[in-house]
Every structure is written in structure tokens, then in C-alpha cells.
Amino acid sequence: MKKFFKMIVWIIVIIVVLFGGFILYITLSDYRPNKVEVILEADNHIKSTFPGQNNFTLISWNIGYAGLGAEMDFFYDGGKKVRPGKEQNQRYLNGIKKYIKDSDADFYLLQEVDIRSRRSFRINQVEAITNLKTDFSYQFALNYKVPFVPVPVNEPMGKVKGGIMILSKDEPYYAERIAYPLIAAWPDRLFLLDRCFILSRYKLDNGKDLLVINTHNSAYVYDSTLRYQEFNIIKKTMLDEYEKGNYIIAGGDWNANPPYLKPEGTFNGHKFESSKVKMNNDFLPPEWNWAFASNAPTNRNNDTAFRKGENGTTVIDFFVASPNIKILEVKNIDLDFEFSDHNPVYLNIQIINSG
């Protein structure tokens, strides 16, 4: 009996040491970006980036690392799966690439783009996507870098490296990664995203800047205080830049419903559900423009594989524009979530008094 208990004690000690060593390793290798990091800086870029152009088109799409197409559920959302099969993953990525290649926009705002992560079969998705538009500039910012995510226990997610990116027809003269605050304590934060947004600057004919912002806000956190710490950072940035006379368009996956959202008609045959988090009506001054569409959803529930009319769906992907920008058209492109758990959003804008 003494030998048996001694063996049990040693097993416990080994488990504790291994676990402690793992936590120490993850802590020491934790991705800790600065609050502001320069992605691109070209001080001598003084000419207009888009000479004579007042109208711009943008597409925002959370591509879900090509791992959350229609057949998928996801363990974080109440499902069971971690990733699709390799062939299925490739089919999702091919569909995403085809849409981007065949579409025509001045800017693409993409979220959940992986670089050689286990969950996306170690494909460099940034490279795969930028190769589609070789004449475009791109800015990429990491927001998820963990050497090993240990959940779920039966099939750990493993190494994750991914982020957000902006593709643009011309290169900005300046771009930066701006961090959101950490919204989880140690050790949970070691395995979660380091949220941020990209801010890219393009010079207009009148000498002012067009600011294009790509954001991916927190999910799975419903504490309004913590969520609005994030929202207030991007809000302050936008308001400060507008005071300087600049033009601001911010889009992405806000993980919240925009104000005044109400689905149109049958919501294109989908089942509408409000998100758990909603943007306040007075989040921005009333002259600012909320650019969202309600013709179809942009996001679906991932507790089960997608079945149109059965899964809850909503709108959490949209744009916000400063008062000196006119919204000409905004629409959600309903792909029936075939390649991602999000649908793309298309926006057409006009710069007011740009020259």
C-alpha cells in the first residue's frame, strides 16, 4: 500500500511540474505588443494617394480562418468541432479566394486570417490572399499568437497565429496597429486574442487624410464595462481625427449589433436573432453615419452546422463613417455562410468636399 500511495504522489508531482512548466513556457512566450506599433511609415509620401478620386468601395469580411464554413459547428459556441477536415478546409479557402479575386473594391478589410496555424492546416493565408491581388498593398496585424492552445482537451487547437489585414489599391503613407486593452486576467489572457485595430492613412487631393480602420472586437465577453473600454478607444481615435478635418471609415467585425438594427422583410430567409451585445444609439455624435445593411445576416450561430432558417443569424459586421463621408450604398452579400460563419459586407462611399 505504501508503494501504491508513493506512486500516486509521484504521479501528482509529475503532473503538477508538467503543468507548471507549460504555464511558465506560455507565460514567457506570451505575445505582448505595444499599445501602438507602426506597420508602415513613408515620411516622403506627400502626394495624393488617389488623385481625382472621390468615390471608394470597401468590402469587409471575417473569413473565419477558412475553418468555419457551412458544415461546421464550433466548440466555443456550443458545438463540438475544432476544425474541418483538410479537404474541407481547402474548399473553404478556395471559395474565399475566388470571391476576393472576382470582386472589385478599393479596400478589403479582412479578419481572422491565419499564418501557418494548426487549425488551418499550417497554410499561410496572408500569402494566399495577397497573391490574388498582386497590385494591391497590404497591412497585416497580429491579434492571436499562442504557441499552444490546450482546449478542448480531447483535440487541442494547438499553435495559433493569425490577425487582421487591409488590402488597398494603393499604398498608405502610414499604417499602425492600435491595441485594445486586455480584458482577461492571467492565466486566461495567455490563450486569448490580443485585440486591436489597423489604422491606415491615405492622402487626399485637399491635403487631408482618408483613414481606413479595420477592427475585430472581442467576443465571448459580455461585461459592458470591459466591452466599452474597447469601443471607447476606437471612438476617441475617430473623433480626434475628424476634429483635424480628416475623413474616417471604420469597418470590421464589431461582435455587436449596430444601433437601430431591424431586419428587412424575411431577412432573405434567415432566422434573425439580436446579438448579446449592442452598440448604444448615442455611442457616436448624431451626425456620424452608421453604415450597415439589414437585407441579410453577416454572422450565424455556430452551435450546429448551418441550416438556413434554423440557425440564429444577425448583423455584427458593418461600417461607421465620419460626417464628411456620404454613404452611397451598403449591402450584405449573402453567401449562405458557405465558406465562413460570416458574410461579406459591401460599402460604396463618397468623400464630401475633398478638393
For the chain, what percent of residues have pLDDT higher than 90? 76
Task: Tell me the mean pLDDT in the region 250-267.
Answer: 96
Regarding predicted confidence, which is higher, 21 or 143?
143
Q: What is the pLDDT of residue 153?
A: 83
For the chain, what percent of residues have pLDDT higher than 70? 91
- 4: which 3 cell numbers? 501504491
Task: Tell me the mean pLDDT in the region 59-63.
Answer: 98
pTM here is 0.94
CA-nearest of 62, 100, 50, 41 to 247 is 50
Q: What is the pLDDT of residue 134?
A: 95
Q: What is the pLDDT of residue 102?
A: 98
Task: Tell me the mean pLDDT in the region 29-55.
Answer: 84
- 177: which 3 cell numbers? 496597429
Please check whether residue 290 is in contact with residue 322, taking contact to mean a CB–CB distance below 8 angstroms: no
Please check whether residue 167 is in contact with residue 108, taking contact to mean a CB–CB distance below 8 angstroms: yes
Q: What is the pLDDT of residue 1?
A: 63
- Cell 464589431 sits on residue: 254
Please give the Cα distance from 306 to 68 (Å, whole number). 10
Q: What is the pLDDT of residues 133-160, one digit of tens each?
A: 999 999 999 999 999 898 898 899 999 9
- Provide the edge-to-edge strand list for the sheet that holds 55-62: 137-149, 158-168, 107-114, 55-62, 345-351, 325-332
For the chain, the structural domain boundaries read: 1-30, 36-351
Please give the Cα distance from 120 to 158 (Å, whole number). 11
The domain 36-351 is placed in CATH, from the list 3.10.580.10, 1.10.645.10, 3.60.10.10, 3.40.605.10, at 3.60.10.10
Please give the Cα distance from 13 to 213 (Å, whole number). 49
Q: What is the pLDDT of residue 24?
A: 67
Q: Specify burial of residue 116 (Cβ count, 10 A radius: 0-12, 13-18, 19+).
A: middle
Q: How confident is the model at residue 76 (pLDDT cuts 50, 70, 90)?
A: confident
Mean of the per-residue pLDDT values for the chain?
91
- Provide the edge-to-edge strand list for the sheet that holds 299-300: 271-272, 312-314, 299-300
Q: Please give the single-letter amino acid code of residue 11.
A: I
Please check whether residue 349 is in contact with residue 327, taking contact to mean a CB–CB distance below 8 angstroms: yes
